[in-house]
Structure 1
């Protein structure tokens, strides 16, 4: 469930960045009800998936330098003996390119 919470936080952070309404890192931490360290970890996760995220000291907000969209979708299916399923973890868009770093794909329980 930690992964789901992390995805929710990334999605929340993304929405704030798009609006350019994050505030400073300490303000953002209070707004999201997380630690400042977690804010920096989430920013790094966005950068790991090539999000063009930067911080403006003048405006005291994070922003995207270029087009970027993050769409988080999670699909969970209950498996029974030896059934095959696919669980996808979402996708993100960079200037018209679609990237899909799925969680688990083609997992089989035996």
Structure 2
């Protein structure tokens, strides 16, 4: 379930940055349930994937700085036997709950 927690944390991070109400780095980390160091690790990871988030002292919030935002879609779907077979390459694997997860990022141009 740690994967789900990571997705939820990234969704909350994105929402707070988009709304420009993160507060200071310490406050932002506390809202996400991570240390300041972990917060900056998340931000560095996003930067490596083309999403630059910087801190603005003027508004006391982190902001998207390069007209790109992150959209995280979390989908939980129970698959039928045929779809499951397609995913597993036709092999029938016992004791596996057939589901899949994906996260997607899209760049969004400023309007």
Question: d(CA) in 2 for partners of 1:64 and 1:82?
Answer: 45
Give the gaps of 5 or more residues in structure 1. 97-110
Question: d(CA) in 1 for partners of 2:18 and 2:42?
Answer: 15
Pick the structure with more helix per residue.
2
Question: d(CA) in 2 for partners of 1:76 and 1:47?
Answer: 30
TM-score by length of structure 1 reads 0.69
Question: d(CA) in 1 for partners of 2:46 and 2:78?
Answer: 27
- Candidates 90, 96, 100, aligned match of 2:103: 90
TM-score by length of structure 2 reads 0.69
2:76 corresponds to: 75
Pick the structure with more strand per residue.
1
Question: d(CA) in 2 for partners of 1:49 and 1:76?
Answer: 27
The residue matched to 2:106 in structure 1 has which SS? strand
The size of the alignment, in residue pairs, is 96
The residue matched to 1:3 in structure 2 has which SS? helix
Root-mean-square deviation (CA, aligned residues, Å) is 2.8
